[in-house]
Structures are given as C-alpha cells and as structure tokens.
Structure 1
Amino acid sequence: MPDAYDYISLMCRLKAAQTRNKELESGEHYIKLKELHQKECRTYERKIQALLTEIADAHKETIRVRNYWFQVLENMLLEFEAIQKKAEQKLRKMEKRALLAERQRDDALEKAKEFRLKFYETATQLEEEQGKNLKLHAQINRDYENSSIPSSKTIRQKKIANSRKKTGRKPGGQPGHKGHGRKKQEPTQPVILLTPPGEVLDDHAFKKTARTIIKQMVSIRMVLDVKEYHADVYYNSQTGERVHAAFPDSVIDDVNYDGSIRAFLFLLNNDCCTSIDKSRKFLSDLTDGKLNISKGMISKLSREFALKTEPERREAYADMLLSPVMHTDCTNGRENGKSCQIYVCATPDGKALYFAREKKGHEGVKGTVTEDYQGILVHDHDITFYNYGADHQECLAHVLRYLKDSMDNEPDRTWNKEMRSLVQEMIHFRNECQPFQEPDPVKVSEFEKRYREILETARTEYGNVPANNYYRDGYNLFLRMEKYMQNHLLFLHDSRVPATNNEAERLLRNYKRKQAQAVTFRSFESIDYLCQCMSMLVLMRLEEPANIFDRVSRIFG
C-alpha cells in the first residue's frame, strides 16, 4: 500500500512538471509572467508615484510644518530671549537690590551696633544720672528734721509740734481759776488822785467808800546823767609849777563814759547781736542825738571786757574739769573770707566756755577744756573727740535725723524705720526714769538685743541690694552704728549721761546768730574776744540775782 501511494504521488508531480515544462518551452508562461510582471510593475509604479506624490506632499507638509515650527521655535526663542532678557534685567535688578539690601543690612548692623553702644552708654549715663538725681534729691530734702542743718537755714517752714488734745473749752482764763495780772511797780512820781465825776460832786447822796481802784501807767526813758568836775589851776610864781586837784581815777579824758554806757553798747552788740552802727544809732536816738559814740570805741569793748574777766573764765575752766559729764561741739566761723572753727564746752550745771580756733581736729581741741578732760564726753560723731575723755556718748538727735534722711531716700529698706522707732523708744524710756535712778538692766538688755537684730536686718538688706554709689549715707550710718554701738547706748547704763548733745547745740546757736549778723569778722582776734565775752555772759547768767547789765557795768566801771 505505501508503494502504490508514493507511485501515484510521483506520477502526479511528474505530469505537473511536464505541463510546466511545456509551457516554459513554448514561452507562454513567460509572456504571462512578463505581462503579469509589467502589470504589477505598473501597479507598483502607480503606487510608487502615488507614494512619491504623497511623499512630496508629505515633504512639502514637512517643510511647511518644519518652517512653521521653525517660526514657532523662532518666536518662542525670541520670546524666550525676551523673557530671558527680562529675567536677566530682573536678575540684575535683584542683584542690585540684594547688594543694596546687603549694604543696608550692613549699615543697619552698624547703626544697630552704634545704637547698642549708645544704649549701653545711655543706660550707664541713666544709671549715673539716677544716682546723681538721688543725691540731689537727698540734698534738696535735707532740712532740720533729717540732717544737722539748723531750722533757720531751711526754706521750708518749720513744723510746730502740737500734741495737745482739744477740750472744747474757750481760750483764755477758765471759771474758778485765779488770773495772773501784771505786776504793779513802785511809783516813781507822786500819786495822782483823779477828780470825782461831776454827778458825784453835785449829788450829796454819793458817799465815799473804803475801796480805791489803782491803775498804773509804766514807761521808760533814757536819763542822761552827766557829772562835770572843775579843778582850779594854781601857778607858782617862783618855780613856774602849775598844780590842780586830782580827778577821780575813771576821769581821764575831757569826756568819759562810765560802765553803764559801755555795758549798754556791749550787750547790744554782743548779746543782742545788733551791728555797731545800729547800736550807736539806737543810743543816739534815746538821748536825742546827744551821745554819738565812735565805732572804734564800741569795737574795742569786747577786748576790754575779755581782758577784765579772764580770772573768772580760768576758774570756770578748772571747775568744768571736775564735772563727770561734759558736752562739746564745734561749728564753722568766717574770718576775713577764710574759715575758722568755734568750739564750745558745757557741763550739765550750766557752765560753758567758747574757744576760737583757726583749724579743726587736734589743733582745734588744743587749749580747750576737752584737751585735759577725763570724764564722759557727749558729742556728735567727730572722730577727733574719741581721743579725749574716758568714755563717749554720741548725740542721738543727730542719729534720728540721719535715720529720717535714710528713710526719705531709701524707702524700700526697713532697718532705718525700725532703728528710728527703737531709738525714740529708748530716749523716751530714759526720760521717764527718775533723776539719778539707774535704768532697769533687763529692759536695757532687751534694747541692746533689738539694736543688734536691726543691725543684722540692715546687713541683709544691703547685702541683697547694695547701696547706691551716689547715696551711701544710709549704709555709712549702719556701719557707724554697728562700730560705735557702745557709744550710742551709753546713756542707758549711766543716769548722768544725756542722750543728746542739745546743750552744746543751743550754745553754738548764740554764736551763729552773731555770725549771721556780722557775716564775716575782719580778724581772728575779734572772734577770739567775742568767744571769751560769750563765755563770760553764760557764766554770769548762773549768778543770783542774774542782772547782766549791772554786772557788766561794774566790770567796765
């Protein structure tokens, strides 16, 4: 079976090959193929032509599109270049702005640095000016209440303390209270009997009673008492000698003035603190111009009085050395435009001596009672005085004023208020004690304990907030009260010691009044004589009876 199939297949293929060979040999197939080829070629040529046409169109379209896109790209490039140009311009502007901003920033930083430096400088100046302001404010607020300035030197009016309570009663004498009338004087002229009124003389019904109403008119007048002495002169014809009767010792010049006139002018000028011109003018007015004393005579009265009273002052000097307690102080004086010092020493029994010195310190103390004194000295905080005497008590009146000054200028601190209250309480406690009665030691120990506690409070406050460089008075006061605690509290332990130095302060005011009237003295000797005279006047007022005018008149007489 397989062989028959293969044979048939071969025969079919052979027959097909013979047919194909015959066609090839006859050329018909070639012609057909050629025609078919040509036909296909023409078909392809048409296709190619169409494709070429299409390609040409496409090429044209490509060129058109390319040209269009070139135009678009060129426009875009131009637009891009324009945008880029604008961007570059903007960039240059931004660079300029950036450079300008950098310069401005640098300038701003420089200015900020300058402002910062100025701020620091201004802050420093502000702090300094605040300190100066505090210092000036403290100086402006200083018066007699918070410093050593006397009340007469302050602009503000002095406060008049009045602790009395209103009772609702009318002023003047109260019902049932015996009045105090004016003292009647001894009549110096015959009694003047007044004529009865006319109605009494006309009506006999009026009868005289045993009662007589007596009223006086008192006046004074200056009586010029002049004693004139005459002495006849005798001539010896043989010897040529001339002789007359001896005049009294006080009658030397043609016109002499006795002690009363000298005392009058001396007390006016030195005790009443009137000028020489006013004193002589007053005396001239009293005598209707009859007495016109020269300025030279009045100016020499202090020297004359000082020289005549030197023994009394020496005796007072020796007595003051024996006193257990003595006050001392000094103040400034003016001598021909220069400064000098006036010292005063006073004892509790009233004795006092003034001393004029050209310098302060140990040179000023030399020659005063303080130099040789061995008791307890009461004085202000002058370190010089601590080198003299056996013990010392500082004036608490000054401490109270300084504490008030600290309260006014350091209101945030508490120690000054507490210390001022404690000092006032201690002084009040001491004043309530009986004379020569020693204070209660328990109470004194309690005061000392509170004193130390307040000092610790001050130490803490100044440690937390240091004192201002322009106002250190409060801090310095704290250090002083701590260092000299024993000298601030001595009056609590000794009943003889006062708490203040007011005795010496009051005495120095007498010189201050004279200094204010004289403004300045021409020589130091005149100040020295004035101090000697003031010392003697203080001692005279201790005598009984204290008639200063009579005593001064006797000294000059």
Structure 2
Amino acid sequence: MFELPSLRLEVTEHQTEMKHCPFCAQESQGAFPAEVSQPVQYGARMKGLLVYLNHGQLLPYDRTTALIEDLIGQPVSQGTLLTATQACAAQLVESETVMKQALRQAPVVHVDETGLYENGRRIWLHSASTQDMTFYFPHEKRGHAAMQAAEVLPAFQGIAVHDHWEAYQQFEQCEHAFCNAHHLRELQRAIDQDQAAWAEEMTTLFLDIKEQVDHAKAVGQTALSPDEITHFQTQYRGIVDQALQPSLMTPPATKPPTRGRQKQSKTKNLLDRFDRYQTETLRFMTDFRVPFDNNLAERDLRMIKVKQKISGTFRSPEGTRAFCRIRGFISTIKKQRTERFEKRIAFERVKFAI
C-alpha cells in the first residue's frame, strides 16, 4: 500500500546569542541562516509549492491558497503567493537569459504567437521552443517589432519552423520551414468549399512524403535518397504548375469589386504560397531535423490559453511577464527530464528559484 505521510507544517525557531567582551567591550552576535530574513516567514519548499500550483498546475490565486488551507490547515494569504511569485521571477532572470542564448544557437527552433488579454486589453504571447527548452515573451504587438524585442530570431541562424506568416520571413539570416499541419487544414478547406481537385492531389502527396520520411527515420536513415527527393519534388511542381493554368483557376467566393484590384480567393493564395515557397514547404523532406508540423510550439502555447480560460485576464504587465518566465522554466524542466530524474517533481526545482 502506497500512502502519503501526514501533511503538516514544521515550524523551526532560529535563535542567536549576543556576547559582550569584558576586555574590549565589543558586542558580537551570531548569524542567522542566509534564508532567514524575517521574524516570521515561510520556507522555500512552501513558497515553491505555492508557485508551482499557480504557474505549473494553473490554479487561480484563491484556489491555490484554499488548497493549502484544506490540506494542512494553514491559511495563506494571496499576498504571500504574489510575493513568492515576484521573488521566483526575479531569480529566474539569469536562467531566461541563458535559455535565450541557447535558443539562438539551436539548429531548429519552433516559433508561434497567440493572443492574450491583460487588464482587459489584447496583447500577444510569443514563444520560441525546442525539444528541451520553452521561452515565452509577452508583447503589445504581434509582428516584427515584438519578435525583435524577444531577442531570439534576430540573432538566430538555424531553421525557424512556423506558419506562413510574413513577419517571420523578414528574418533573412536564418532558413525557414512551414507547418504542414496548417497546410493540410487549408487544403481541406479548398477541397470542401472550392472543390479544388489539385488540393486533393497535394494532400495525398504531403501524406505520402511524410510516410516515406517517417519510415526512413524509423529504420535509422538520416535522409531520403536523391532519387526519392527528385521524384517528390517533380510531383509537387507538376501539381502546382497544372493548377496555375488559367483554365483551372478557382474564382473568388465573393462578387468582384466594381473598382480596384479583384481580391484573390483563399485557395489561390494557398496555391501561390506553394509556388513561391516550395523549399520552405518541403524542408521536412530534405532535412530530417525539421518536423512535418509546428505542433511543438502549438502545444507549448496551449497551456497558456488554458491558464487564461481558468483565471481570466492577466492583471498587469509585471504579472504577465512573471507568469511567462516561471511557466517557461517549469516547461523546460519537464522537457529535460531523463530516466534517471523522472521522479523529480517540478516544484522541487521551483523552490530553488525562490
């Protein structure tokens, strides 16, 4: 039978002595431990648990403090949790700097962004991640200026995996790879709404290439053969060139404007992207370090959206930044678990940052 020990607080009283020298009249006092700074305070493990429940398990402030009181009978104020969060975030500044430096030197980085609400106004959360690291950066803007301020992509020279948003394309010192999960969804829309026959062919081709790449990885290969790559590239080019013929163009879904340039359909925009960005679209085929999709970044952002659904809007820029830094640290620790340290609980690491 596996059972938890009785949960209770341990209270330790620290005392020091003061001595008066009868010869030199100097008074000397013993030193308290470095972590003891207040007449009454919580220890690092207690504060680490509070921060972990709030930022790791995404419990709101009131539910976090209520849980502690229910489990151990000790009322804890939300102000204590706020203070612990601020202290933890301050201690993790250096860790975040080291992480950004490591991301800039990584061969492949996944990037994405999503909307958040801070004190009722919309802001944007940007992420940069690998299999070992997660970095979050909130900013009032979505585009190039925010990506510059995050300080990852401007100095990055590897391969950036992302959706096809043009703001990412402005970083020309690195290579790019597009998320083909996005492409599959757009192709399905083109099939369902525009009856685009070429979209069905492209979908089949993508899935065939992915199957071939997955099989090659499974048997220990590091690349497809030149003949296989040429074969798939020829098929890709043939589908695009055939679809670009004027007689096969999909008309826009809306009525043409009476003046000005006619708006292209979404299906035509997708086709133009495939025509212009063949290398970025098929990079997962030519470089096995690149995955088929950008699901890693989307999974990292998903938990931030869960946090907002549970707790509502963030209250201040400082609170948003603290949550992103701590949550990124916890996500990174979980990604870096090895078999040897699989039983290490995340909050045990968080407490060292308090």
| TM-score, normalization by structure 1 | 0.56
Aligned residue pair count: 333
Q: Quick check: 1:275 aligned with 2:60?
A: yes
Partner residue of 1:378? 161
Partner residue of 1:554? 352
State the distance in 1 between where 2:247 and 2:64 align: 57
| CA apart distance, 1:221 | 3.1
Partner residue of 1:301? 84
State the distance in 1 between where 2:194 and 2:249 align: 14
Structure-2 change in CA distance of 1:246 and 1:494 (3 Å): closer
Task: Verify the 8 A CA contact 1:540 1:548 in the aligned structure 2.
Answer: yes
Partner residue of 1:393? 177
How do 1:240-319 residues align onto structure 2 when only pairs under 5 Å count? 246-288=31-73, 291-319=74-102
State the distance in 1 between where 2:273 and 2:194 align: 17
| CA apart distance, 1:247 | 3.6
Correspondence for 2:141 among 356, 359, 381: 359
Partner residue of 2:312? 519
Structure-2 change in CA distance of 1:335 and 1:234 (3 Å): same
Partner residue of 1:424? 207
State the distance in 2 between where 1:429 and 1:503 align: 21
Task: Verify the 8 A CA contact 2:243 2:249 in the aligned structure 1.
Answer: no
Give 3-state SS (helix, strand or coil) of 1:408's partner. helix
Residues 241-280 of structure 1: CA deviation (Å, up to 9, x unaligned): 9997544333333321001111111011001011000000
| CA apart distance, 1:461 | 7.3
Larger RCO (CA under 8 A, 6+ residues apart): 2
State the distance in 2 between where 1:217 and 1:303 align: 36
Give 3-state SS (helix, strand or coil) of 2:235's partner. helix
State the distance in 1 between where 2:98 and 2:59 align: 30
Task: Verify the 8 A CA contact 2:122 2:140 in the aligned structure 1.
Answer: yes
State the distance in 1 between where 2:2 and 2:35 align: 37
How do 1:157-306 residues align onto structure 2 when only pairs under 5 Å count? 216=1, 218-230=3-15, 246-288=31-73, 291-306=74-89
Partner residue of 1:320? 103
Superposed CA RMSD = 2.5
Amino acid at match of 2:133: K
State the distance in 2 between where 1:354 and 1:338 align: 19
As a proportion of its length, which structure holds more helix? Answer: 1
State the distance in 2 between where 1:438 and 1:357 align: 39
Residues 455-503 of structure 1: CA deviation (Å, up to 9, x unaligned): 2343347746523127922222112111212210122212222221111
Partner residue of 1:492? 285
As a proportion of its length, which structure holds more strand? Answer: 2
Amino acid at match of 2:347: F
State the distance in 2 between where 1:281 and 1:530 align: 20
State the distance in 2 between where 1:217 and 1:539 align: 29
| CA apart distance, 1:315 | 2.0
Partner residue of 1:331? 114
| CA apart distance, 1:368 | 2.7
State the distance in 1 between where 2:18 and 2:321 align: 45
Partner residue of 2:192? 408
State the distance in 2 between where 1:474 and 1:504 align: 26
Task: Verify the 8 A CA contact 1:355 1:368 in the aligned structure 2.
Answer: no
| TM-score, normalization by structure 2 | 0.86
Structure-2 change in CA distance of 1:386 and 1:464 (3 Å): closer
State the distance in 1 between where 2:331 and 2:306 align: 15
Task: Verify the 8 A CA contact 1:436 1:495 in the aligned structure 2.
Answer: no
Structure 2: where are the runs of 5+ without partners?
256-263
State the distance in 2 between where 1:450 and 1:308 align: 53
Q: Quick check: 1:532 aligned with 2:320?
A: no
Give 3-state SS (helix, strand or coil) of 1:334's partner. strand
State the distance in 2 between where 1:462 and 1:306 align: 59
Amino acid at match of 1:452: R
Task: Verify the 8 A CA contact 1:328 1:379 in the aligned structure 2.
Answer: yes
Structure-2 change in CA distance of 1:378 and 1:217 (3 Å): closer
Partner residue of 1:161? none
Amino acid at match of 2:269: N
The structure with more radius of gyration: 1
State the distance in 1 between where 2:174 and 2:349 align: 37
How do 1:82-161 residues align onto structure 2 when only pairs under 5 Å count? none
State the distance in 1 between where 2:34 and 2:82 align: 23
Residues 319-378 of structure 1: CA deviation (Å, up to 9, x unaligned): 222222111111111111111111111124x12211111111111101331121011111
Percent pairwise identity: 27
| CA apart distance, 1:305 | 1.1
Residues 508-555 of structure 1: CA deviation (Å, up to 9, x unaligned): 112111122222111122111111112211232315524322222233
Give 3-state SS (helix, strand or coil) of 2:291's partner. coil
Structure-2 change in CA distance of 1:405 and 1:220 (3 Å): farther
Give 3-state SS (helix, strand or coil) of 2:244's partner. helix
Structure 1: where are the runs of 5+ without partners?
1-215
Structure-2 change in CA distance of 1:496 and 1:244 (3 Å): closer
State the distance in 1 between where 2:289 and 2:31 align: 58
Task: Verify the 8 A CA contact 1:329 1:504 in the aligned structure 2.
Answer: yes
How do 1:458-469 residues align onto structure 2 when only pairs under 5 Å count? 458-460=243-245, 463=248, 465-469=250-254
Give 3-state SS (helix, strand or coil) of 1:433's partner. helix
Residues 177-216 of structure 1: CA deviation (Å, up to 9, x unaligned): xxxxxxxxxxxxxxxxxxxxxxxxxxxxxxxxxxxxxxx3
Q: Quick check: 1:456 aligned with 2:241?
A: yes
